[in-house]
Amino acid sequence: MQPETPETPETPETPELKPRLGLAAAVALNMSQMCGAGPFITIPAMVAVIGGPQALVGWLLGALLALCDGLVWAELGAAMPGSGGTYIYLREAFAKRSGTLLPFLFVWTAMLFIPMTMATGVMGFVQYVGWFFPNMSAMHGHVLGLALIWVTIGLLWRTTGAIGRLGIVLWIIMLASILCLIVASLTHFDAARAFSFPRGAFDLGNSAFWFGLAGSLTIGTYDYLGYNTTAYLGAEIKRPGSVIPASIVLSILGMFVVYFTMQIGILGVVDWHRMLDQQSVAFNAVASVVLNETWGPTAAGVVTVLILITCGASVFAGILGGSRVPYEAARDGVFFRSFAQIHRKLGFPTWGLLSMGILTSLGFIIGRLTSLTTLIQLLTAVMILVQSVAQIVALFVLRRERPGMTRPYRMWLYPLPALIALIGWLYIYVASDKNAPGAYPIQWSLAWLLIGSIAHRFWTRTHGLRAKHA
């Protein structure tokens, strides 16, 4: 006997999410989420993982993977704009096969990897505060990071339209910090220093090169993550059929130019050997080091403040997108009903926003007790199976089984970009244990999915659910 479909907890009087974000705000939110603390803290990490300036290859391959995967998001997001992104795509593709299992697992997993991603931005913020307070204690760092998270929650406690305007302001500040860093590095550029590759840097016959490349690609891909923020906010995007694809492609191409130029510029100022020591200031605040050694300490201090605001902008955009993930699932009865509640006056998911604050706080503490690179490897492994791989398969399924679906945007050169993205994600996943020794990302990701499957079994038994759109 089939369980009854749950009634959606909506009434005509219940407020809903409204489309208030145009292309400019969409690109600003994507790019703010993509950049943030990312390159300022991961450029040295990429150099350390691969062992030299050949880390530049990580940015090239990361851009390729991001663009190919971004085209998957673009087609699915334009065809099915709504709150939660991947949740909707998996629901529509697999409801008849596995019911609510895959959509549930996505929300279950996203509630882990999105806050962990935001936690890395908070860690970057604390690292750069260390430029001003080099003797700051670990406890003070913990308190500072938690304060940033909850100030961000306060800033997001407003209408989406106001958030879009604030997002543009933060985006402009982000661009200013990046521009200062690039100009400073390129005007004091030493090509011999930038391209001082170590012996065997490109030894393709050495397995160490391929594992190092996978680690560098993982970190580079992490820096590009955020191009999908507008897909999470699909219900709040004006003209989503055109704005979502445009915002994704423009964000990826724009950030590739920024990241690649930043990496070359920094290598031309700071000897890459200095970045190998994870306790050094060159590893923890390389952008401030560049400004200090080119324009002096005053300029370094000013730009470091801009970088701190940029880190905050990333956390701002990420928590905004993450807070919308459980909303659609809760409306379908596939997640806790409270997550479907919309603030009656301001029009945002209240419990989604609060939960992101709590879980980001936990992720930040975990990251502080381990390391940034370990946290990146863990969150990437958890994300790959249920979001990246499953979503690519969903695209293939929907293309085959629902050819008549309205698709305002269709992937260029289909299916080649989707296949490249699939290979790239699997390469990163398989190499993750090697690049995070002792952390076991593969085992933890599989364990998390197993626990999620058990939780789904319990959920369906107690709530009597099946897919709303089966």
User: Which range in 35-39, 182-186, 233-237, 305-309 is most confidently predicted, on average pLDDT?
Assistant: 182-186
Domain presence at residue 468: no
Domain presence at residue 365: yes
Closest CA to 100 of 368, 345, 328: 328
Domain presence at residue 364: yes
Domain presence at residue 470: no
The pTM (predicted TM-score) of the whole model is 0.77
Domain presence at residue 84: yes
Report the C-alpha dihedral over residues 221, 227, 231, 237, rounded to 10 degrees.
Answer: 170
pLDDT in tens, 186-214: 999 999 998 898 887 787 777 778 887 88
Total number of domains constituting the chain: 1
Closest CA to 133 of 372, 301, 365, 313: 301
Question: Residue 399 pLDDT more than 90?
Answer: yes
Contact in structure between 467 and 401 (CB atoms under 8 Å): no
Query: What pLDDT does 14 receive?
Result: 47
Distance separating alpha carbons of residues 148 and 235, to the nearest angstrom:
27
Contact in structure between 53 and 47 (CB atoms under 8 Å): yes
Domain presence at residue 60: yes
Q: What average pLDDT is seen over the chain?
A: 81
Question: Residue 247 pLDDT more than 50?
Answer: yes
Token output for 145: 């990071």
Question: Residue 364 pLDDT more than 50?
Answer: yes
DSSP helix/strand/coil, 66: helix
CATH number at residue 183: 1.20.1740.10
Q: What is the 3-state secondary structure (H, E, C) of 134-197?
A: CCCCHHHHHHHHHHHHHHHHHHHCCCHHHHHHHHHHHHHHHHHHHHHHHHHHHCCCCHHHHCCC
User: Which range in 66-70, 92-96, 289-293 is most confidently predicted, on average pLDDT?
Assistant: 66-70
Query: What pLDDT does 4 receive?
Result: 41
Partners of residue 342 on adjacent β-strands: 349
Domain presence at residue 199: yes
pLDDT in tens, 441-464: 888 888 888 988 888 888 777 765
Distance separating alpha carbons of residues 354 and 186, to the nearest angstrom:
42
Distance separating alpha carbons of residues 324 and 29, to the nearest angstrom:
14
Domain limits for position 290: 23-463
Partners of residue 83 on adjacent β-strands: 233
| 152-to-145, 218, 316, 328 alpha-carbon distances in Å | 11, 27, 6, 23
Closest CA to 248 of 267, 265, 224: 224
Distance separating alpha carbons of residues 421 and 67, to the nearest angstrom:
8
Domain presence at residue 143: yes
Task: Provide the 8-state DSSP code for 237.
Answer: B
